Amino acid sequence: MAFSSRLNQFVDFMVGGEFFDSGNVDSEYRDFFFSNGDLIRHHSRLEIAPLDLSLKILPFGRSLARGRHGREVFRPVTPYFGFGGGGLLWDYRERGFFVDVTDPANPVVFRGDFHARGLTGSVHVLAGVEVQINPEVALQFEGKYRWAKDSLGSDFSGFDRFDLSGGSINAGMSFRF
């Protein structure tokens, strides 16, 4: 969901929020098994909720001309690109069985429940197109790529920073009031 305000014919300011939930993603070890031959499995889940501030650049402008009675006539298709930044709230969990290979000759299987969450800054770029249905309603199709990293905390000590970067494709509708 986003709120956009027109700064001029060629620039919009936008405040938006999203939510993503990976659901449970199952993983299994390829080289390690329980003594009975069963697979050693665990699952992970990532939830992210970014809040973004963006500038949308409309290189050709949104309006074609003024129509009758001074009413604005919008382009049927308006491409745009943009950039911005914001905050990213995230929650990550891994549960199940894990293999500790500190001693490769004697790997140890253990059950674990690891959890980390945080709030970190992010930057993004975006590009899209608005397709006018009528003067008050448009369809929007947008691609966005976000860069963000954070520390995983004590449950994951010794790990590198958590890379939360990634792309998304969104489709929606916009309404003018």
Instruction: Please write the tens of the pLDDT for every residue from 24-67.
Output: 999 999 989 998 989 999 999 999 999 999 999 999 998 877 66
Instruction: Give CA 170 to chain center in angstroms.
Output: 10
Q: What is the per-residue pLDDT for 159?
A: 87
CB atoms within 10 A of CB 73: 13
The residue that leads in pLDDT, 64 or 160, is: 160
Instruction: Please check the confidence at residue 70 and state whether its pLDDT lies above 80.
Output: no
Do 54 and 4 form a contact (C-beta atoms < 8 A)? Answer: no
* Fold (CATH) for 2-24+47-90+97-175: Porin (2.40.160)
Q: What is the per-residue pLDDT for 154?
A: 87
- What is the reported pTM? 0.84
Q: For residues 78 and 63, what is the distance between their CA atoms, to the nearest angstrom?
A: 9
Q: 87 - beta bridge partners?
A: 51, 121
Give the E-state strand segments of 34-107 in sequence order: 39-57, 63-66, 72-74, 77-100
Residue 72 pLDDT level (bands cut at 50, 70, 90): confident
**DSSP for residue 154:** G
Do 128 and 171 form a contact (C-beta atoms < 8 A)? Answer: no
Instruction: Tell me the pLDDT of the chain averaged across its residues.
Output: 92
The dihedral formed by the CA atoms of 87, 82, 71 and 66, expressed in degrees to the nearest 10: 160
Query: Length of the chain in residues, anyone?
Result: 177
